[in-house]
Amino acid sequence: MSDQVRRAFRFRFYPTDTQAAELLRTFGCVRKVYNLALAARTEAWYQRGERVTYNTTSVMLTRWKQSEELSFLADVSCVPLQQGLRHLQAAFLAFWDKRAKYPRFKSRKKSRASAEYTRNAFRYRDGQLTLAKMTEPLEIVWSRPLPEGAQPSTVTVTHDNAGRWFVSMLCEDPGVQPLPESAAAIGIDAGLHALLTFSTGEKVANKRHERRERIRLANAQRLVSRKQNRSKNQDKARRKVARIHARISDRRRNDLHELTTRLVRENQTLVIEDLTVRNMMKNRKLSRSISDASWRQFRTMLEYKAEWYGRTVVVVDRWLPSSKLCSDCGTSVDSMPLRVRLWTCRQCGVTHDRDVNAAKNILAAGLAVSACGAGVRPRRSTARGQSATKQESQSARVGVPSNSFGTKSTDHVARPRPVGGGLGSGAPSQGAQLLGHRVT
């Protein structure tokens, strides 16, 4: 971890009519340049077999400004336009690394309206922020102070569908320091009945923010369908729908921030499950509830906060049958339908709560393989992108019933080569004992 963490501080602001017009014009030019560069790079590759780099598109931008048809690009600050080209280059890098799909063209209605300014395109003095091409500072609502002596390195201005304006300032925060080490470890099971269940037995209620606003949202959407297309009344109705969606996402994000901060402060090791939310969303009966739970956002917050404060996040393999294994003796059951919330182990007779038992098994699996150097982000193109279960050697799974992982899961886990010597020789770890593993 570096000495200082680069952290974005987001504030709402209220622009004047002149400032709003300038920003909207900048958003349009950024979108135009991005689309022109994407079209040029796509055409060059598919028609002539040439690869266009960022430097080439930067030269193209100069020619576009000098042309009569695109002369309006010179009316706005050049920095957001250059940043748009850099964002396109980053999108291509993600595509070449197979971390994302091919870049798509930006839409005026669907794409996020944003513009990024670097240090030479804004002035921040005495708590006032003035952007390039503007004579007056922005009227920012300072909901919290910036770190003492902090100077923003980049400023990003956004305008959402609800009509709100936000400015995000990236600063170095010296106040973020590693917390004192602790021996506490916790397993976290995500669900829909309870949003999160911990290995300690605690359950976090699922507030279902979207479901609570579903009737109001449906009524607002009906009003949109009754308005004349492309009319001002339709725009007003759409803005009302966007405000409801914004209220839902704000409440959800606030709850997740409070929860992840608490977990990182109280625990040294946090073990979670590698859930493929994208595939789970294909379930038509549960997709809406899964989207409302926002498991992906929870994991993202947990990972970067753990990195900030010197904690460890371990991600166990998605094929671990955490709900089917008895956390006391390691016995596996053949099936566990979602309707079963309590079950009794045939071997030891212990009655388990489905979610608490799963959280205990997740914690045990994370402790059992943490010595192998498992990464935080399994199956991804990152330096630490190795799955915890993939690190586990064959000997570490001796003693687990042959049908405990199921036919598909066994094939999936056995395919990759194990890295390292597994748990090694010596006494079995706490996680291996909890899972009923016998280390040979």
The catalytic residue positions are 189, 273, 355
What is d(CA 192, CA 275) in angstroms, rounded to the nearest whole number?
Answer: 13
CB neighbours of residue 230 within 10 Å: 7
Q: Which residues contact 202 (CB under 8 A, 6 or more apart)?
A: none
For the CA atoms of 39, 41, 45, 51, what is the dihedral angle to 10 degrees?
180
What backbone torsions phi and psi does residue 139 show, to the nearest 5 degrees? -85, 90
What is d(CA 229, CA 89) in angstroms, rounded to the nearest whole number?
Answer: 37
Q: Which residues contact 27 (CB under 8 A, 6 or more apart)?
A: 113, 114, 115, 159
The two most distant CA atoms of the chain are separated, in Å, by 82
Contact assessment for residue 312 and residue 179, using Cβ atoms and an 8 Å cutoff: no
What is d(CA 374, CA 381) in angstroms, rounded to the nearest whole number?
Answer: 14
131 to 116, 125, 157, 374, 425: CA distances (angstroms): 10, 12, 10, 45, 62
Chain centre to alpha carbon of residue 213: 23
